Structure 1
């Protein structure tokens, strides 16, 4: 079964959340660190930290919104406000977003309802994150629900309150909608007579058969009162302004929390096709059949015209996080390039792409040119993988132009990427897509060394990082892990066979046992999510080695 690790368990509520200046408990202080020299892993971690900090809820709100007299400025737009702002929110990052919005709006805020994951407020209090909590005399109601990231009765109550708030608005009101990843589960409002249990059943069936998030959201929208633009329709004729933290590749807003403030571009016929694709027509509840059989009375053009009162803004995304990471990397002295913000596909294939890229870069830098036959072969394979994964923004040639700068300047190299992969489950181990990615990169680099008479990485220090910006990789306590060329060989010395752990999807157990857990990335829950970040640092060693290819 292909399982997207987006559908993970919400960790027990006493995990520490990330702060604006979090300090991961990973490395022991070495003499080089004390003297001010950071190791490659620590530099990589600083770059990852910067990416996360740029999309923390309080930061994205303050970077995008300001109050100028009686006008609320959001990016390049402004909206008149006069004690008429109502707030609705749903998602894993919404608690912090709402706290920042509340501080900015002041008396212009009339009321609000937000739906956040179970345990959110307790976790924030335990972590001392007062800036991410609402004021004691807040006008915003908080409803916690969606345990294990699944819609439940508490989330349904929150959705009903939000629906009621929206329906009571007038043309003189402004509804500020806060949306982040996890919003679909936190805003369940099934179209009658469909029950929450029936919708849950159908969602679980689709997920278990490997349906994509786009397919899941298409079906959810067709069975929802609020998704697929339903919330915006309920709020009409009030002004609706949505602030969206994207956890979707490509930032397609209609799929973020199932697009409650955007017109639904999918039809009920699309839902029928998806259910047929996964052989669920015969097991579909009768109430679902009834709703999907009801004819649509509106055209796409009519549907779109009804959204003139709506403005949607992306305020946080993987692209934004990577741009900030790039700035940090450059400040550390690296020639830096962003490879892609939309890396997706099976983690095994993606790990192969990254390991090939590392090998290619090392071979080119070692011989001061890319004419080596092995380098040419590696480039061809990379292009084939990029084509098979359909990564349109991964333009290899333009990305590799950076190597000329590396050769001429002598500066080391940092390559950044982001997105979200899937894992083919074969075993019963404990892990996540980022830890498995790192471990597979390490294994591939080890195999490349063992297949050549000369160490292809002898002239370079190499570190690979893959981490989830939400701080939780699968149902584990880690955000991700590191890889480097010596990892697999060192693991063998500790009696650990990397391939055995990978065959059992047991990457977290490996990293926990190996090197005393020093290669795990432990941030705690961050209360944000813009998918995953990968970073590759390639730095020349001081010792000269004869050119090899």
Structure 2
């Protein structure tokens, strides 16, 4: 933890990381939205959709950049431009970002290449999102690839085009780089003799064994020409300015799309340790072993040691999305708090944490005192789980403050959190981490309620949701799902055994069959990505 923090401080001081200081605009809420006729599930959807809208490509660009004459203004920085801007981009949100940037830059934009998900232009067109598409007379070449979010030949062609564009720039040029979630898969440039297929194989193996995104990107950087600062080095001596939509816990620039405009602080030895951790060293392709055995090349001190030609701006993140979701929940009448923007770890343990939290809140409300025996026991168990998950920023105290306010004011509460969990694959079903999270929370609540006939869970109205802000949870077309205390019991009555579906990692199939799919969160492709959002809403049944 200390080492990671030192790395972050080093990045801030040496690579001109520009912090996000502006406050998101508050949304106006009509009286109809505040109506008590809205169901708890509808309110949850409103809160989740607000989080997504806040970090939509158009909003993050319009809120962060502008052009005044021959000055490009980004947050609190200014860059001279005079028909010398070249653009490169890669990620799920980049199509919409590029469309907004092109409109703002006008004639200052010379050319551009973006690598975007396969089929995204057709999807956006069918969805009526014409504002996220490039203009007919565009100077930007959009190249689609990375089917199923995996690097492929089309993404490799796009990466080569971006590399060629960068290498042709001079000191009089400015390279504007657009980066968002999914960028790693859309910018594959394996170091020879590694082939794309070999890199795909290794990535799949790591993902299937539950490797974190940080671990995946550490390995990717060691095997890539463009990741780990490779793109910035290729563009030298041009000015490089990156607009980044973060899909990484802690917004660490090293790991967002594998850090193409940030020096690589991990070594090849770090990659070997990760492969060893997941027992993959012996099964690595020969080419990967060859590259990892080579000594790390050091950057030329004169050219790019300090990356002085690079400015990185975070324009969207999970924290920004949750702040606006909090405002939305408060406009709906809830006392609200953000517990964490860094929830990570095995989905089973995280689901356990959320179920304990729900039970704790209900126990305190039932006893009108946080000192009741059951609440104290639940709190102790929560603290243990938080420690096991290594979530030092999990603000449990803010939940306690909300409870005191709820007891005195009678207002319902909304607890928000975000991050990205991992799933240990043990079955061959169809699902995603958010749907599995929701289903596991529902099972935990059901099991707790079954043990105690007069359990406090039976008194208030409770809803839990977990959804991916990109609108795609794993290989399914759902963004996530809802959970509530009666879900498992109702499923049994429909002949559906929740545990069987979970054992097969088949949460999407379960939710599709149960309740006619009404508990799935279906947003469609959002063209943004700031990881996942969870919300717990608890109110009295009379509210």
TM-score normalised by the chain length of structure 2:
0.90
Partner SS for 1:142: strand
Within 2, Cα distance between the matches of 1:93 and 1:239?
23
Within 2, Cα distance between the matches of 1:190 and 1:148?
19
Partner SS for 2:456: coil
Partner SS for 1:79: strand
Match of 2:512 in 1: 512
Residue 402 of structure 1 and its aligned partner are, at CA, apart by: 1.6
Deviates more, 1:205-214 or 1:229-238: 205-214
Query: Where do 1:136-147 residues align within 5 Å?
Result: 136-147=136-147
In the alignment, structure 1 residue 227 sits paired with structure 2 residue 217: no
Q: 1:78 to 1:508 in 2, by over 3 A?
A: same
Residue 218 of structure 1 and its aligned partner are, at CA, apart by: 1.6
Within 1, Cα distance between the matches of 2:297 and 2:497?
60
Residue 357 of structure 1 and its aligned partner are, at CA, apart by: 0.8
Q: 1:33 to 1:135 in 2, by over 3 A?
A: closer
Match of 1:88 in 2: 88
Within 2, Cα distance between the matches of 1:302 and 1:324?
44
Partner SS for 1:186: coil
Match of 1:19 in 2: none
Residue 441 of structure 1 and its aligned partner are, at CA, apart by: 1.3
Residue 76 of structure 1 and its aligned partner are, at CA, apart by: 1.5
| 2:339/2:398 contact within 8 Å kept | no
Within 1, Cα distance between the matches of 2:297 and 2:421?
38
Within 1, Cα distance between the matches of 2:283 and 2:336?
51
Q: 1:441 to 1:288 in 2, by over 3 A?
A: closer
Residue 192 of structure 1 and its aligned partner are, at CA, apart by: 2.6
Match of 2:12 in 1: none
Residue 290 of structure 1 and its aligned partner are, at CA, apart by: 3.2
Deviates more, 1:254-263 or 1:472-481: 472-481
Deviations 1:398-457 (A, max 9, x none): 332221111222111000011111223233322221111111211222222221131413
Match of 2:275 in 1: 275
Q: 1:295 to 1:128 in 2, by over 3 A?
A: same
Match of 2:441 in 1: 441
Deviations 1:483-514 (A, max 9, x none): 11222222222222222222222222222222
Deviations 1:176-210 (A, max 9, x none): 00011111111111223333233233333333443
Match of 1:429 in 2: 429
Match of 2:360 in 1: 360
Q: 1:332 to 1:427 in 2, by over 3 A?
A: same
In the alignment, structure 1 residue 66 sits paired with structure 2 residue 98: no
In the alignment, structure 1 residue 381 sits paired with structure 2 residue 381: yes
Residue 140 of structure 1 and its aligned partner are, at CA, apart by: 0.4
| 2:144/2:155 contact within 8 Å kept | yes
Match of 1:188 in 2: 188
Please, which runs of 5 or more residues in structure 2 have no aligned partner? 1-31
Please, which runs of 5 or more residues in structure 1 have no aligned partner? 1-31, 544-549
Query: Where do 1:235-274 residues align within 5 Å?
Result: 235-274=235-274
Match of 1:343 in 2: 343
Within 1, Cα distance between the matches of 2:228 and 2:283?
24
Match of 2:17 in 1: none
Partner SS for 2:169: coil
| 1:263/1:303 contact within 8 Å kept | no
Match of 2:99 in 1: 99
Partner SS for 1:482: strand
Within 2, Cα distance between the matches of 1:500 and 1:201?
29
Deviates more, 1:199-208 or 1:528-537: 199-208
| 2:218/2:271 contact within 8 Å kept | yes
Match of 1:197 in 2: 197
Q: 1:522 to 1:215 in 2, by over 3 A?
A: same
Residue 302 of structure 1 and its aligned partner are, at CA, apart by: 8.1
Within 2, Cα distance between the matches of 1:35 and 1:260?
47
Within 2, Cα distance between the matches of 1:279 and 1:500?
28
| 1:33/1:39 contact within 8 Å kept | no
Match of 2:481 in 1: 481
Match of 2:156 in 1: 156
Within 1, Cα distance between the matches of 2:299 and 2:90?
28
Within 2, Cα distance between the matches of 1:201 and 1:122?
29
| 1:61/1:97 contact within 8 Å kept | yes
Query: Where do 1:326-337 residues align within 5 Å?
Result: 326-337=326-337
Within 2, Cα distance between the matches of 1:300 and 1:206?
32
Residue 216 of structure 1 and its aligned partner are, at CA, apart by: 2.1
Aligned residue pairs: how many?
512
Residue 299 of structure 1 and its aligned partner are, at CA, apart by: 7.2
Match of 1:325 in 2: 325
Within 1, Cα distance between the matches of 2:213 and 2:159?
21
Deviations 1:59-98 (A, max 9, x none): 1111111112221111121111111111000111110110
Match of 1:407 in 2: 407
Within 1, Cα distance between the matches of 2:178 and 2:307?
17
Query: Where do 1:103-142 residues align within 5 Å?
Result: 103-142=103-142
Residue 536 of structure 1 and its aligned partner are, at CA, apart by: 0.8
Match of 1:216 in 2: 216
Within 2, Cα distance between the matches of 1:458 and 1:269?
53
| 1:263/1:304 contact within 8 Å kept | no
| 1:206/1:216 contact within 8 Å kept | yes
Within 2, Cα distance between the matches of 1:266 and 1:430?
34
Match of 1:172 in 2: 172
Deviates more, 1:244-253 or 1:485-494: 485-494
- C-alpha RMSD of matched pairs (Å): 2.1
Deviates more, 1:127-136 or 1:283-292: 283-292
Deviations 1:226-281 (A, max 9, x none): 11101001111111000111111111111111100000101122223333334444
Partner SS for 1:183: coil
Partner SS for 1:402: helix
Q: Which has the higher contact order (CA 8 A, sep 6+)?
A: 1
Residue 304 of structure 1 and its aligned partner are, at CA, apart by: 6.9
Partner SS for 1:89: strand
Q: 1:67 to 1:293 in 2, by over 3 A?
A: same
Residue 36 of structure 1 and its aligned partner are, at CA, apart by: 6.6
TM-score normalised by the chain length of structure 1:
0.89
